Amino acid sequence: MCGIVAAASKFNVINILSDGLKHLEYRGYDSAGIAVIQDQKINRYRKEGKVVELTSSLTDNINATIGIAHTRWATHGKPSEENAHPHVAEENIAIVHNGIIENHIEIKNKFFKNTTFTSETDSEILAHLINHFAHKNNTLDSVHLSLQEIKGSYALAVINKKNPGQIIVARNGSPLLIGIGDQTNYIASDAHALIEHTNKFIYLEDGDLATITFENVNIFDKNKNKISREIKKSNLSLKSSSKEGYEHFMIKEIFEQPEAVKATIQDRIINNAVPKEILGPNVEKYFSKFKVVQIIACGTSYHAALVAKHWLERLAGIPCHAEIASEFRYRSHAVQKNTLLICISQSGETADTLSALRKVKNEDHYVGTIAICNVPESSLARECDSTLITHAGPEIGVASTKAFTTQLTAIMLLVIVLGKNFEITKDLEKSLCKQLQGLPEKIKSTLALDAEIAELAKVFSDKEHALFLGRGSHFPIAREGALKLKEVSYIHAEAYPAGELKHGPLAIVDENMPVVAVAPNNVVLEKLKSNLEEVKARGGKLYIFADKKAGFKNDDISQVFEIDAPMNPVAPILFTIPLQLLAYHCAIIKGTNVDMPRNLAKSVTVE
């Protein structure tokens, strides 16, 4: 969601800020702004719309050695220039803020009954609150006192014209890092914004505050005690954040999946076995104790969780519950003893998943916590007992593709490890390992359907609705396919278990409703065929992604796309690929913003 970039330098920072905002565009936003201190005053520049509209409005005479910048994704207040960050108080204090100030109305009533505010945002209150305390305190103390008053989440960067060489930052619940450079130090929501300047980062923890100048970084805990945080080197590169000749990041990332899956299994399968040590040194804490698994996730990661539930129960015989994190965190639970909690998140910063983890991880019924995510330095990775990193590499497109398939790959590795204490035998482990090792080549062969699917997408160009069907572990794949189509092409789509057709969905099937079916060659194949006959009998147009041996044939109202997906547990990963391609090509035809769909953010770091 919202993105922060800031810098304190011996040199002009305007290009650092504007370029950093461009690198943060993938997170999703509706307005952007920059504030710098120049000639002993705060100069602010804001625009609704894209970063290019902001940067094209900047004048050549901006020469500032300190500044803060922001991309906003609207929560409180509509997208507008007035609501865009940075927010300023009395021309003294400027702030950029990610998160939500839950008690902003109470703060207004307590401190600012007679103050005129210029935006509809909750964030503006922070600028005024810090300015209020700054009349009698230095900037660090003013920020610290302000944070004692607020409830909510924040990643915060503050500049004060009375202290023009310093930025104050604070973090609670929203990601924030410090980049270490030569005669320049940086702040950002994630490393993508800064990777062309530095690969050395300090990842702030909840409750941290810091002062940043071009020479020094000082970090404090929530009580203002000085502390140290480790400087970590990032493996990100500018290449990984570029399109490399592809028209969009989404299609680039779809075609990166063979290598991403290969990287995720690399060094984790040894002699056709998966050692438990892939879960790190804390694995013994829970490995022999857990009896049941609880998975929490959001969005696409929740679909991965649903596949994981099928695999854990069917292959390993481990009881498993999977739930959307935003629902899980707000209800009472009848938790079984010796439950292992698994959290899945691409970014490792998903607000609801983190909050759910923090709510329950110290409860007696939970014996351990495992994170599956793509960012080793993320909050989720740091806060769980064990982390299984997916090696998808940076995923810039908002619609998750390679992050999803690498999550499924990592989940299968985890199923193998956890299942050794249950029903996964050495023979089954060997078979599953071989299936995983064969995935990259099978994904490549599935990607060869690209041209055919591009033609199929033309059928959807004038459609407003679509129905996706699947059964068993492929129903979550149907759900993911429907989600992708919604996200990037804005065609309303929903998924149903194929066996539920007679319980409602058949009512909307007619010649104008495209029906997409996921048809692996498995134990429910004949049941699925019967379900699809029900669609054909109502005149529905069928588009079937089927295993080569499933026996489907083209006819007047059915079109079949054959996939080499043998009857084995990893088949859901392969059936994901054509549904991603379908969504992409539909979006191209519809002319939508493929990489940054309207109203959506890459990392959902607030509720």
Output the CATH code of domain 243-447. 3.40.50.10490
124-134 and 104-111 helices cross at what angle (nearest 10)? 40
- Per-residue pLDDT, averaged over 268-278, amounts to 94
Query: For 187-226, b where at least 16 C-beta lie within 10 A, e where not — what string?
Result: bbbbbbbbbebbbbbbbbbbebbbbbbbeebebbeeeeee
Q: 340-368, pLDDT tens digit by residue? A: 999 999 999 998 999 999 988 878 899 99
Residue ranges with strand state E in 355-480: 366-373, 386-389, 465-470
Buried b (16+ CB within 10 A) or exposed e, 389-410: bbbbbbbbbbbbbbbbbbbbbb
Whether residue 331 has pLDDT greater than 90: no
Of 227, 232, 240, 153, nearest to 196 by C-alpha is: 240
Count Cα neighbours of 218 within 13 Å in the Cβ-side half-sphere.
10
So what's the pLDDT on residue 1? 63
DSSP label of 261:
H
Indicate the Cα dihedral angle 196, 199, 200, 202, nearest 10°: 80
Judging by beta carbons within 10 Å of its beta carbon (0-12, 13-18, 19+), is residue 112 exposed, middle or buried? middle
Given a cut of 80, is residue 76 above it in pLDDT?
A: no
Of 2, 343, 384, 586, which residue is the catalytic one? 2
**Considering only CA atoms, which of 283, 279, 328 is closest in space to residue 305?**
328
CATH 3.40.50.10490-classified regions of the chain: 243-447, 448-607
The predicted pLDDT at position 152 comes to 87
Give me 421's structure tokens: 């204490």
SS3 174: coil
- pLDDT digit string (tens) for 217-270? 999 999 999 999 999 988 777 666 678 889 999 999 999 999 999 999 999 999
Mean pLDDT calculated for residue range 125-145: 96
Q: How many helices (H) and strands (E) does the chain have?
A: 17, 25
395-420 pLDDT per residue, tens: 999 999 999 999 999 999 999 999 99
> What tokens does 591 get?
């002319």
516's tokens: 């997409």
| Amino acid found at 531 | N
Mean pLDDT of the chain: 91
Considering the chain, what percentage of its residues have pLDDT values greater than 70?
98
Q: In this predicted structure, what is the pLDDT of residue 325?
A: 95
Taking CA atoms, 292 is separated from 298, 415, 473, in Å, by 20, 12, 19
Residue 532 belongs to what H/E stretch? Answer: helix 525-537
The catalytically annotated residue of 262, 463, 484, 602 is: 602
Is-catalytic flag, 373? no
Residue ranges, comma separated, of all CATH 3.60.20.10 domains in the chain are: 3-240
Closest residue by Cα to residue 16 from 4, 3, 26, 7: 7
Residue 243: predicted pLDDT: 85
Q: Is the pLDDT of residue 566 over 80?
A: no
DSSP strands (E only) in 269-329: 292-297, 320-324
pLDDT at residue 332 is higher than 80: yes
Q: Is the pLDDT assigned to residue 28 strictly greater than 90?
A: no
**Distance, CA of 410 to CA of 243 (rounded, Å):** 25
pLDDT of residue 607 exceeding 70? no
Specify the pLDDT at position 168. Answer: 98
The residue ranking higher by pLDDT, 239 or 487, is 487
CATH 3.40.50.300 assigned to domain 3-240? The reply is no
Q: How many Cβ atoms are within 10 Å of 315's Cβ, its own excluded? A: 19
Helix (H) or strand (E) holding 200: strand 200-203
What span, in angstroms and rounded, lies between the C-alpha atoms of 124 and 101? 10
Contact 144, 224 (CB under 8 A): yes
602 catalytic, yes or no? yes
pLDDT higher than 70, residue 372: yes
Whole-angstrom distance, CA of residue 134 vs CA of residue 127: 10
Mean pLDDT of 71-96: 91
| The pair of three-digit structure tokens given for residue 397, joined into one six-digit string | 């497109």
How far apart are alpha carbons 237 and 198 in whole angstroms? 10
Domain 448-607 has CATH 3.40.50.10490: yes
Largest distance between two CA atoms of the chain: 80
Could you tell me what percent of the chain has a pLDDT over 90? 72
